[in-house]
Chains A and B, each alone.
Chain A
Amino acid sequence: MVDWLTMLIQMVSLAMAVWCLVSTFRDQPMLVPHLVGMGVLWLLVLGQVGAMVFAMVGGDRPDDLAMVVSYLATVALLPPASAVWGFMERSKWGPAVIAFTCLILPVLLVRIEQLWSPVV
Chain B
Amino acid sequence: MSDTETTPLPPDRTLRTGPGRLLVAVYAVFALAATARGAYQLVTRFEEAPLAYALSVFAGVVYLVAAIGLARAGRTSRKVALVSVSVEMVGVLVVGALSEFTSGIFPEDTVWSHFGSGYLFIPLVLPVLGLWWILKVHRADRAHSRE
Contact = CB atoms under 8 A, between A and B. Distances in A.
Contact of A104 (B29, B36, B40): B29
B126 to A, nearest CB: 12
Interface residues of B, number: 13
B86 interface: no
Contacts of A85: 21, 24-25
B19 interface: yes
Given A89-B17, A91-B17, A100 B36 contact: no
Interface of A: 66-67, 70, 74, 82, 85-86, 88-89, 91, 93-94, 96-97, 100-101, 104
Contacts, number: 37
Contacts of B19: 93
Do most interface residues of chain A lie in helix, strand or loop, or is the interface mixed?
helix
Given A66-B40, A70-B36, A74-B32, A100 B25 contact: yes
B22 interface: yes
Contacts of B129: none
Contacts of B36: 70
Counting from the closest, the 4 A-B pairs by CB-CB distance are A89-B21, A93-B21, A97-B25, A96-B22
Given A74-B32, A104-B29, A97 B40 contact: no
B21 A101 contact: no
Interface in B12-63: 17-22, 24-26, 29, 32, 36, 40
Contacts of A89: 17-18, 21
A91 B14 CA distance: 14
B40 to A, nearest CB: 6
